[in-house]
Amino acid sequence: MTSPALLLITALAQQPTDTARAAQDSALRVFLDCPNSFSDFDYYRTEITFVNWVRERTFAQLHLLITSQSTGSGREYTLTFIGLERFAGAQDTLRYLSHSTDTDDDIRKGLGRTMRLGLVRFASKTSLGERIEVSYSAPAQAAAQVKDNWNYWVFNVRVNSNFYGEHSYKNTYMSGGLSASRITDAWKIDLSTNQTYQQNDFLVPVYDSTNTLIREDLSRNITRSYGGDLLVVRSMGPHWSAGALGSVFSSTYSNQDITLKFGPAVEFNIFPYSQSTRKLLALRYNLSLASFNYRDTTIFNRLSEVRATQSLTVSLDVKQPWGSAGLSVEASNYLYDFSKNPTARDLVQLPGVRRAALHVRLEVRQRRQPTVRQRRRVLLLELVSPEKTEPGATRCTPGR
């Protein structure tokens, strides 16, 4: 038989737990969505505890969408806070810039700080708002203007190799490259060089009239190529940019001893470039002068020629809560002869266009509509076991 004193102690011990659980139940429900960005969901779930992380967007009060794009010095993350239910119509956008030298831990900590700043606006309007405190770490003294000794230049070196072999076949592939880029608010400069070497060895069996193997002849094929690219772009405002493109290329496989191309280009983006991480619709026109020097006589009986080319590219890239989609259409031709049709390998056939290509990408993340019982179970699992992590989970899992 249980004594009244024991019942009283049990009730008193249970009351704070029930109060804390009720308060946590009323916290902001957040759905984390990072379709193509690094995001350690388990880390944020354990470090940011003043919200409830849910796995169903239909049960969330806030949709946190994280997209990213590479920059000259690292990667820019765009965090879009989209209000749902009682917060419908409210939206905020914050950005976090990582550096190329940052580790994964540095990136997730930086994203975590940015998440907290954006979540406070919405969480402060819940019953947990009175429990939230904002702290500020003041600098010891006024920060001096940072001076970049490299003047915003970023350099990268790339080396790649692949070796494969068996008795009758061997393959050797080696490539390397060097790139340098400088990106500021007004200018973007990209320089890159690359070189490849590939060797294929085949042993061809030779038989006599009695079908007896008498020897194996070695057949060797070697291809070499090298090239370089130059891109200089000047920002002309939130929608326009202008610059120049240049390249040098040599390849034994393509019968090109040396090919030089250079010309101006202009680009117009329907949406402001500040929104490029979520939506981009750009039209780019390029006019180039190309000088070709061939290793061997072409089918048109030429060893060299100079041609003017033009190209028009339309690019669409959209990242939204429902998923992402991309579309790229490029058409180009030589100016000296508009009558030539594209070859059969081209993806799009357009009269008078030397080359046309179409690339389409579509990714839709389906949202299932859970029942009321399923919704309660999902929320209960998130609240009861916030410290549990899924084995091997290192990236964003909700919404995938």
Q: Which residue is listed with tokens 């659980």?
A: 21
* Range ranked top by mean pLDDT from 46-60, 132-146, 349-363: 46-60
Phi, psi of 8 (to 5 degrees): -65, -40
> In this structure, what token pair is assigned to residue 57?
């967007």
C-beta separation of 253 from 221 below 8 A: no
Count CB-CB contacts under 10 A for residue 351: 9
115 or 332, greater pLDDT? 115
Q: What pLDDT sits at residue 327?
A: 84
pLDDT in tens, 42-87: 788 888 888 999 888 888 999 999 888 887 678 889 999 999 988 9
Q: What pLDDT sits at residue 358?
A: 61
* Range ranked top by mean pLDDT from 12-26, 259-273, 317-331: 259-273
> In this structure, what token pair is assigned to residue 131?
């429990």
Give the mean pLDDT of the chain: 78
> In this structure, what token pair is assigned to residue 327?
């579309």
Q: In what order do the strands lie in the sheet with 28-33?
A: 51-54, 28-33, 62-70, 74-83, 91-99
Q: Which of 23-27, 245-249, 367-371 has the lowest mean pLDDT?
A: 367-371
pLDDT in tens, 284-341: 999 999 999 999 998 889 999 998 988 888 988 887 776 778 888 888 888 887 665 3
Cα distances (Å, whole numbers) of residue 364 to 144, 278, 327: 47, 15, 14
44 or 346, greater pLDDT? 44
pLDDT in tens, 187-242: 889 999 999 999 999 999 999 989 999 999 999 999 999 999 999 999 888 889 99
Count CB-CB contacts under 10 A for residue 211: 6
134 or 64, greater pLDDT? 64
Q: How far apart are CA 76 and CA 96, in angstroms?
A: 6
* Range ranked top by mean pLDDT from 241-245, 346-350, 353-357: 241-245
C-beta separation of 61 from 86 below 8 A: yes
How far is Cα of residue 244 from the mean position of the Cα atoms in its chain? 24
> In this structure, what token pair is assigned to residue 364?
């839709």
Residue 371: pLDDT band (50, 70, 90) is very low
3-state SS string for the chain: CCCHHHHHHHHHHHHHHHHHHHHHHCCEEEEEECCCCCCCHHHHHHHCCCEEEECCHHHCCEEEEEEEEECCCEEEEEEEEEECHHHCCCEEEEEEEEECCCCHHHHHHHHHHHHHHHHHHHHCCCCCHHHCCCCCCCCCCCCCCCCCCCCCEEEEEEEEEEEEECCCEEEEEEEEEEEEEEECCCEEEEEEEEEEEEEEEEEEEEECCCCCEEEEEEEEEEEEEEEEEEEEEEECCCCEEEEEEEEEEEECCCCEEEEEEEEEEEEEECCCHHHCCCEEEEEEEEEEEEEEEECCCCCCCCCEEEEEEEEEEEEEEEEECCEEEEEEEEEEEECCCCCCCCCCCCCCCCCCCCEEEEEEEEEECCCCCCCHHHHHHHHHHHHHCCCCCCCCCCCCCCCC
Phi, psi of 13 (to 5 degrees): -75, -30
